[in-house]
Amino acid sequence: MGTIDLERSDPDFVKELARQPGGESISACFACRSCVAGCPISAINREFSPAKIIRMVLYGLKEEILKNDFIWLCSTCYTCQERCPQGVSITELMTLLKNMAVKEGYAPAGIWTQMKLVKGEGRIYPIDDFDNKKRDKAGLPRLSTSCGEIKELFQQE
């Protein structure tokens, strides 16, 4: 996340987000940075800042946000949203931005791979008898080794 380039501003971006769940309260942000202070990702990566992402949204930098991988660093922990004094739904906004990035074809390769696995197999990590034996030893209930129902759901799309 380098300097902000206002040349590429899309003035309708905020309105587009404000119409969707998670984007309604974004204009209430008064740049206090409480979200950054509590963010576990900002604590280990100084380049990541929810406050800066909010600013970029307010400046209408749609393409710059959606095509960048930094939105995918958000771990959806909700700390920022709990702490925001202005009631900005920051975590939900991050999810909204991720969904928009997928729709516009900008998601990172790993996300497409995970999506393909879930749609095809119903799970990212297959469960087999070996896993269930380990679960038996740990006193945990066995899990089904097939996810046919999930696969069917995606086929009905």
Binding residues for ligand SF4, rule: CB under 6 A, are 29-35, 38-41, 50-51, 54, 74-80, 84, 86, 88, 90-91, 94
Q: Which is nearer to ligand SF4, 34 or 132 (CB)?
A: 34
CB of 83 to ligand SF4, least distance (A): 6
CB of 31 to ligand SF4, least distance (A): 5
CB of 2 to ligand SF4, least distance (A): 19
> Given 3-state DSSP classes, what are the helix, strand and coil percentages for the chain, each rounded to the nearest 5?
55, 0, 45
Structure tokens that stand for 52 in this block: 């800066």
Among 62, 79, 73, which residue's Cα sits nearest to residue 23? 62
Q: Which is nearer to ligand SF4, 77 or 153 (CB)?
A: 77
CB of 95 to ligand SF4, least distance (A): 9
Q: How far apart are CA 118 and CA 150, in angstroms?
A: 8
Cβ neighbours of residue 79 closer than 8 Å, sequence gap 6 or more: 35, 38, 39, 40
